[in-house]
């Protein structure tokens, strides 16, 4: 299912797919330079949105959780 979602970004040169000849099979995905540049494009919009979220609101908690996921995934 993840592989199906990543086929188009891979074909567009946004995601790199590395297949390892192991048992069980292992595949790793990473952003290409083009993918990193694309990831940077919405950053100003995200900063604007975070600045406008009322402190302590449910939306602020969700933004905080989303930011943490991006940092853990190494895409922030």
The alpha-helical segments, DSSP class H, found in the chain are 2-11, 33-40, 43-51, 58-73
> Which tens digit of pLDDT belongs to each residue from 17-67?
999 999 999 999 999 999 988 878 888 887 887 777 777 777 676 766 555
Domain span at residue 35 reads 1-40
Q: Are 7 and 19 in the same domain?
A: yes
Q: Name the pairing type of β-strands 15-20 and 26-31.
A: antiparallel
Total count of domains within the chain: 2
> What is the arithmetic mean of pLDDT over 1-10?
89
Q: Are 23 and 34 in the same domain?
A: yes
Q: Are 1 and 36 in the same domain?
A: yes
Q: Are 29 and 1 in the same domain?
A: yes
Banded model confidence at residue 76, pLDDT cuts 50, 70, 90: very low
Q: Are 15 and 25 in the same domain?
A: yes
Whether the predicted pLDDT of 12 surpasses 80:
yes
The pTM of this model reads 0.56
What 3-state class would DSSP assign to 38? helix
Q: Are 27 and 57 in the same domain?
A: no
């Amino acid at each position: 299912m993840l592989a199906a979602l990543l086929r188009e970004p891979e074909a567009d040169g946004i995601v790199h797919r590395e297949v390892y000849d192991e048992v069980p099979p292992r595949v790793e995905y990473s952003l290409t330079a083009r993918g990193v540049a694309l990831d940077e494009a919405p950053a100003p919009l995200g900063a604007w949105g975070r600045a406008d979220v009322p402190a302590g609101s449910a939306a602020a908690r969700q933004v905080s959780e989303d930011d943490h996921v991006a940092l853990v995934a190494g895409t922030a």
